[in-house]
Amino acid sequence: ETGVTQTPRHLVMGMTNKKSLKCEQHLGHNAMYWYKQSAKKPLELMFVYSLEERVENNSVPSRFSPECPNSSHLFLHLHTLQPEDSALYLCASSPGGANTEAFFGQGTRLTVV
Amino acid sequence: AQSVTQPDIHITVSEGASLELRCNYSYGATPYLFWYVQSPGQGLQLLLKYFSGDTLVQGIKGFEAEFKRSQSSFNLRKPSVHWSDAAEYFCAVGRAIYNFNKFYFGSGTKLNVKP
């Protein structure tokens, strides 16, 4: 248990559905991250929020929409996804500043049908 | 640009044998280096980290890693592997950007342990 909680753990959605992934941390961390992990690919950084401000957007398609309403919560809103978006979506948080590591949640296994 | 290379995609070792997983990084400044482990369908768990000081760092589960600046390497080692060590291992480098860190991950090494 790292203190980063992701819900749901598994999600199956159709290409026309709208769903949201939730990430929560009560570690007092300033930075939160979304990563995508596909089979046979390295972890892809999608978004970074620092102090609730989006500071990184790695050319992610607009069908993925992040939201960080406060420093403890991070959402990833999904709509009109494609089958190739099926992956493990990992949330992480970090205290920020130098000499700090990332703490990961358990991930949400997303399947787009 | 920062990058992390893990040259071995799969490694198989016998239980009780020693293990070394390779990691090479490319980074202009003093790197922050990490090793994470991931069991199937799970998140990443930090095994150990290097920020500065002693180049041999100890981690959880009996793992250690050695930072070698001259070789741009941060290899992970364990003297005697247990069946429960079967998992995927990721090396990462961190870069401080203002008030947050950006983490760059290698593509991972999948470890199989033979009985």
User: What is the per-residue pLDDT across B45-94, written as a single tens digit (0 to 9) for each?
Assistant: 999 999 988 999 999 999 999 999 999 999 999 999 999 999 999 999 99
Determine what percent of chain A is predicted with pLDDT higher than 90: 79
Interface probe, candidates A6, A37, A103, chain B, greatest B C-beta count within 10 A: A37
- List % helix, strand, coil for chain B (3-state, nearest 5): 10, 55, 35
In this prediction, residue B71 carries a pLDDT of: 94
pLDDT over 80 (residue A97): no
> Among partner residues A31, A103, A105, which is closest to B100 by beta-carbon distance?
A31
DSSP A65: E
* pLDDT, mean of residues A14-29: 94
Q: State chain A's mean pLDDT as an integer.
A: 93
Cβ contacts of B43 on chain A, cutoff 8 Å = 2, 4, 6, 90, 104-107
Residue whose entry in the numeric block shows the structure tokens 């970074």: A48
Inter-chain touch A102–B103, beta carbons under 8 Å: yes
Cβ contacts of residue B33 below 8 Å, gap of 6+?
A: B23, B25, B49, B50, B65, B67, B74, B91, B92, B93, B94
Cβ contacts of B33 on chain A, cutoff 8 Å = none
Q: Please state, in angstroms and as integers, the Cα–Cα distance from residue A97 to each residue in A100, B60, B107, following that order.
A: 7, 24, 25
Kindly tell me the burial class for residue A33, based on how many C-beta atoms sit within 10 Å of its own C-beta (0-12, 13-18, 19 or more).
Answer: buried
Residue whose entry in the numeric block shows the structure tokens 């003297």: B79
Rounded distance, CA A74 to CA B57, Å? 33
Cβ contacts of B98 on chain A, cutoff 8 Å = 50, 55
**Helix, strand or coil, per DSSP, at residue B115:** coil
Query: What does the block give as tokens for B84?
Result: 């429960």
